A = this chain, B = another copy of it.
Amino acid sequence: MRYDKFLAGRANWIKGSALADVMKKAAELKAQGRELISLSAGDPDPNLIPREVLGELAKEILAEVPASVMYTPASGIPELREEISKFLEKYEGYRVSPDDVIITVGGTGALDLLGRVLIDPGDAVITENPSYINTLLAFEQLGAKVYGVPVDGEGMRTDILEEKLRELRAKGVKVKFIYTIPTGQNPIGVTMSEERRKRLLELASEYDLLIVEDSAYNFMRYEGEATPLKAMDKEGRVVVAGTLSKVLGTGFRVGWIIAQGEIRQKVLMEKSPIDFCAPTISQYIALEYLRRGYFEEYHLRQGLPGYREKRDAMLKALEENLPEAEFTKPIAGMFVMLFLPEGADGMAFAEELMEKKGVVVVPGKPFYTDESGRNAIRLNFSRPSKEEIREGIKRLAELYREKF
C-alpha cells in the first residue's frame, strides 16, 4: 500500500538530516565489523560523566520516590524548576522565577516548542549561517523562511545582520526572532564577542525582535568571556533554550525554556499534548545532581578539564598535520570546523574518509542556510579519546594530501 496520499502537505517541508544519514551509514559499517573512529557525534564523553554516581542516584530515586515513575506536571517537577533557577543565577548570572522555567525534552524539545508557539508558515527567522541543523529543520518543518547571517571568529556578523534587517523591513518582511547559539556555536565552534552580544541586543531592540538564545554549550567553556545574552537582557527580549545534555549526558533529555508572559503561557498549554512531560527519572536525577553539588564536583572539576585537554589535542593535531588548512579555534563547545580548500566537496570527502580511512566526520554543508560551506567539515572532540583524536586527524590529513 502506498501512503503518499495520506501525508500532510506540510510533510513535503520535512527534509532528511545529513547528521542522521552519517550516523546511519556509520552504524551500517560498524554492523559489518568495521572499526571506526568517530569525530562526528554531538555527545559528551561517557567516561567524563560520573555514570556510577548517576546510577546510584537512579537506584535510590526509583526505590524511594514513588512519583519517580509517574507523570510530572507538563512544566516539570517544581523542585527541579527551583533548582535550575538557582543554578542559572549562580552560573549564568541572571535571575528568573522558577515559574518561568519549563522543563523540556532536551534542548531540542525546547527549540521545537518555541518554534511551534512563535512560527507561522511563511514567517521569517534569522539564524547564524551556519547553524544547528536540527533547529533549522525544526523551524523549516514549521514553515519558517530562514535567513542566515554569516559568522566570523567573533560570532554572528552584526553589521550584516543590520543590513539584512533593514533590507527585510524595506521589503515588508516581518522577522519573528533571531535564533543564536552565542557560545561554542554548533557547528562552527566560535563564541560571540561581548561587543557583538551588545550589538545584537541593541538591534533586537531597534527592530523590536525577540532573540532565542540556545545556551547548549554554555557549560562547556574552556576560557574567555561569554556573558549569556539573557544576563544582558534589560527588555525581556531573550527567550532561552537550555539543556543539561552536555553535562549529564545527551540521553537524559532534560532541557528547559526560560520564557515570560504569553510565550510561557502558550508553551505550557502546548506542551502537555506534545510530550506530556520530560522523562521523570531524568528530571529526578538532574534534581539530585544539582542539589548535591555534583555539577561543581564532577562537571566543573573533572569533566571540563578533560574536554579542554581534548580540544587542545585536536587543535594540536590539526596544526601539526594540516598547518596549511583553515580551521576554527573554539574556546567553548564541542566542535572545530575545518575548511577544505576552496571548491572542494566536503560531502564527498566525508564519505571517502569513512570508507577508506574509517574516520567518521560530519559534512558542514547541511548546516548552512545557503550554498556556502560546501568545503566545511565538522569535527567533534568531546566524545572521542585523545588517542582517537590524534589518529583520526592523522588519517584525515592523509586523505587531504591524497586529494588536494
Contacts and interface: CB of A to CB of B under 8 A. Distances in A.
Contacts of A67: 46, 251
B49 A249 contact: no
Interface string A267-294: 0111011111111111000000000000
A61 interface: yes
A373 interface: no
Contacts of A46: 66-70
Contact of A14 (B9, B66, B266): B266
Interface string A59-87: 11111001111111110000000000000
Nearest to A43: B70
Interface stretch (A113-121, A154-162, A224-232, A350-358): A113-121
Contact of A68 (B19, B41, B51): B51
A123 interface: yes
Interface stretch (A90-98, A187-195, A256-264, A317-325): A256-264
Contacts of A116: 8, 10, 141
State the majority secondary structure of interface residues on A: helix
A266 B289 CA distance: 37
B62 A3 contact: no
Contacts of A51: 62-63, 66, 68-69
A135 to B, nearest CB: 7
A46 B262 CA distance: 35
A106 interface: yes
Contacts of A402: none
Given A1-B235, A58-B59, A62-B55, A272 B134 contact: yes
A138 interface: yes
Contacts of A74: 20
Given A51-B62, A62-B58, A66-B46, A269 B118 contact: no
Number of copies: 2
25 contacts: A1-B236, A2-B262, A3-B210, A3-B262, A4-B262, A6-B118, A8-B117, A14-B270, A15-B269, A24-B73, A41-B70, A46-B67, A49-B69, A51-B69, A56-B59, A58-B62, A105-B279, A109-B274, A112-B274, A134-B273, A135-B273, A251-B279, A253-B279, A279-B279, A281-B282
A159 B3 CA distance: 26
Given A71-B42, A273-B17, A281 B58 contact: yes
Given A8-B123, A109-B275, A251 B118 contact: no
Contacts of A32: none
Nearest to A55: B62
A137 interface: yes
